[in-house]
Structures are given as structure tokens and as C-alpha cells.
Amino acid sequence: MKKIFLLTGIILIIAAGLGLLKWQLMTSEQATTKGQQRVVHIYNYGSYIDPALLTKFTQQTGYQVSYETYDSNESMMVKLQQGGSNYDLVFPSEPFVTKLAQDKLLAPLDHHKIHGLSHLDPLLLNQKFDPRNHYSLPYFWGTTGIMYNDQYFSKDDVATWQKLWAPKMKDQVMVIDAPRESMGMGLQALGYSENDANPAHIAAARQKLAALAPNVKAILNDEIRPYVNAGEANVAVAYSGVADYAHSLNPHINYVIPKDGGSVWTDNMAIPKNAKNQAGAYAFINFLLDPKNAAQNAVYVAYSSPNLAAKKYLLHTITTDKILYPKRDTLKNIEHYQNLSDNTVAAYSDNWLAAKMAMANGGK
């Protein structure tokens, strides 16, 4: 679940995008002269890798890189479903690993060809969305929790999802405009799983969220962080990377993982079934699993690295950052996002739309 709060400003985003475009054009030209078998075709979110690592990979392995970007898991999946693409490596989020595997669009990973598996955090391995990591390996990870301004609220005030419904939160809470995250909050506040498929529980979560109406300042996505930093609202449902960036701008902005839930998510490396250059894909996976490369990438992307061995190459201020690398005891109640049936996904979307309309009408 990579979000756009990875760089410190629009200028850096534009610069990085131009750099990657230049890289793509260059490597496409080189592919014509050196042969397609020496090109690794990578399909990833924009600005989700340090461009310097692409150069380093080519220097070390001889493989050129064609790097294309997408803006959502859905658009990536459509490309693979349509066929005809020549991507060797993609980076799906958790539920989409399951979807792609079920649609037979991913190649099983040969773990004997992968070097550095022991570096990966066991917390993020062998999850229900991909048992035994048959199709994927974690690339970056993060959590979903509560961002708050400690000048107005204490940590105890936001210790659970349930506390967001307290009267003292009137007109203070920003909510993410996303069905899985927001319906998940409602479900967990009721003691259910964020992956619950029971229609009665989903309807109850809708009613629970509608009752939050007096406390909701706004329902937004990308604008949440600047609103909180500007003091327009003092509490927000947020992704850890967003909260960490907000904290870097204002040390009074803190973040907690609710004791009654919260989410952990991963974006993952996977090889499409129709990949033409699996050898190059494995070479790139192994390159990214190298602790020094993983550390360099983590500094650039500014999300949590799953590579435990990389921490010795990161600054102490990063490895002790409790937003990016929370203590294990705060993660005991978190859930990974699971793949849901099409009917359940539709139910989440429909009920979230109804909850938003109720919030706009004062909870009715």
C-alpha cells in the first residue's frame, strides 16, 4: 500500500519521475542493441525505488533496466490480465498477490535462486495472503493507525479506535476515504476482523461509522497530513509513512497503533507468469535483498524496510523511529489485509459510501 507521501515535495517527485523516464528511454534504446535477454522489465509504483540503485544494478550485473510505473494495484493487475506485457517483476500489495495468484498470473518463486531470505523479518513472512511466500516476498511495509497532535490529546485519548467516538473528539477526526481502511476501522472497533465477510457485521460497521459523524472533521486522502500539520484537525486515521513525514515537520504530531486493531501491510516483489527474463528478475530480487542496497532504498523511499540486516546500515535515528519501526508488543493485535471475494469487496464499498453519506447528514 504505497502512498504518495514518500518524498518531501513536488519538486523531488517531478525530478525523480523525469530521472526514471530518462532511464527508461535510455535502457529501451540499449535493449535494441544489446538484446532483450539482457533487459529486466520492472513494473512498480512511481518514485518507489532509489534511481541510483538501477544504475548500480546494471553496473554490477550487466542487466539493463526498463522501469515502468503504475498508480494503483488495479491498473497493474489489468495490464497483467490483458496479456502481452513483458514485465519480469511487479510489486503488488497483499490482497493483490492472492488475486494474481488465483488468476494464475504469477510464477511460483524458486527459493533456491533467492539469496538473502534470512534477512527478512519473520513478522512479514508466511502470511495467509501468500502461505510460505510461494509467490512473493516483502519489499516495503507499514501500518495503519491514529495520528494525533499531543498538544491537544494524550496518547491515552487515542489508544483505541473506540476512543475516536468520545465526545471530546467532536469535529476533530480526519478519516481516510478508502473502503478497506475505514470499514476495517469500524469492524475492529466492534471487535470484528478488518477482513470480516459477514454481511451483518459489515452493516454494523457502517452504522458504527455513521455514528462517528459529530466527530468527523473531513473525509480525505492525500490532504490529511497537511490538514493535521496546519492544525485544522488534531486526530486522523493515517498510514505510518504519512504520520512519520508529518512528525518530521511537527514533532507534536505522533502516531499510535490502536490496541483494538490496526493494520500492517506489505508491498511485495513477484514475478509474472509470462516473464521473459526470470533470471534477470531473480538477479534484481537478490540485489534488493542485499542489506546495503535495502538500506539505501529505505532512506530514499522513507518507508519501513522488511530487511532486518539492513538496519545496521541505517542511521540510529531511523532504526529507533517508533513510527516506522514500532515495538513488537504494539503489533500484537494488528491484522494483514486479506483477499476478499468480489461480493465482499462490493459490500465494503457500498457500505462505506452509505456511511459517508450518513456522516454528511449528521449520522442519519
Domain that holds residue 302: 10-141+266-319
Residue (of 140, 118, 136) closest to 295 by Cα position: 140
Q: How far is CA 270 from CA 22, 73, 100, 267, in A?
A: 25, 13, 10, 10
For residue 222, give the H/E element and its range.
none
- pLDDT class for 36, splitting at 50, 70, 90? low
**Is position 250 within any domain?**
yes
For residue 328, is pLDDT > 80? yes
Residue 357 burial by Cβ neighbours in a 10 Å radius (0-12, 13-18, 19+): exposed
Give me the CATH number covering residue 338.
3.40.190.10
Tell me the C-alpha distance between 81 and 284, whole Å. 23
What is the model's pLDDT at position 362? 79
- pLDDT class for 223, splitting at 50, 70, 90? confident
Cell numbers for 174, please give them. Answer: 480526519
173-176 and 216-220: which strand pairing? parallel
- pLDDT class for 333, splitting at 50, 70, 90? confident
Q: How far is CA 277 from CA 20, 63, 154, 241, in A?
A: 21, 10, 53, 33
Is 286 in the same domain as 355? no
Tell me the C-alpha distance between 41 and 271, whole Å. 11
For residue 350, is pLDDT > 70? yes
Is 200 in the same domain as 214? yes
Classify each residue of 175-194 as buried b or exposed e, where b means 16 or more C-beta atoms within 10 Å of its C-beta: bbbbbbbbbbbbbbbbebeb
What is the model's pLDDT at position 308? 97
Q: What is the mean pLDDT of residues 187-198?
A: 97
* pLDDT tens, position by position, 288-326: 999 999 999 999 998 999 999 999 999 999 999 999 999
Tell me the C-alpha distance between 77 and 247, whole Å. 34
Beta strands in the chain (DSSP E): 39-45, 64-70, 89-90, 137-149, 173-176, 216-220, 235-239, 253-256, 263-269, 335-336
Q: What does the mean pLDDT of the chain come to?
A: 89
Is 92 in the same domain as 32? yes
Cell numbers for 306, please give them. Answer: 522488511
Tell me the C-alpha distance between 225 and 149, whole Å. 11
**How many domains, in total, are found in the chain?**
2
Is 104 in the same domain as 195? no
What is the model's pLDDT at position 5? 41
**Is position 123 within any domain?**
yes
pTM of the model: 0.84
Q: What is the mean pLDDT of residues 70-99?
A: 92
Tell me the C-alpha distance between 239 and 243, whole Å. 6
**Is position 4 within any domain?**
no
**Is position 208 within any domain?**
yes
* pLDDT tens, position by position, 12-34: 444 444 445 445 544 444 444 34
Helix-, strand-, coil-residue percentages of the chain, each rounded to 5: 50, 15, 35
Tell me the C-alpha distance between 17 and 281, whole Å. 22
Q: What are phi and psi of 116, to 5 degrees?
A: 115, 10
For residue 9, is pLDDT > 60? no
What is the model's pLDDT at position 16? 46
Is 16 in the same domain as 73? yes
Is 251 in the same domain as 353? yes
What is the model's pLDDT at position 1? 64
Is 309 in the same domain as 258? no
Tell me the C-alpha distance between 131 and 141, whole Å. 17
Is 71 in the same domain as 107? yes
For residue 210, is pLDDT > 90? yes
- Residue that has been written with the C-alpha cell 513472512 in this structure: 125
Cell numbers for 34, please give them. Answer: 544489446
Pick the range with the lowest mean pLDDT from 131-140, 219-228, 236-245, 323-332: 219-228
Is 148 in the same domain as 252? yes
- Residue that has been written with the C-alpha cell 518524498 in this structure: 7
Contact, 294 vs 119, CB < 8 A?
A: yes
What is the model's pLDDT at position 310? 98
Contact, 271 vs 89, CB < 8 A?
A: yes
Residue (of 32, 77, 86) closest to 276 by Cα position: 86
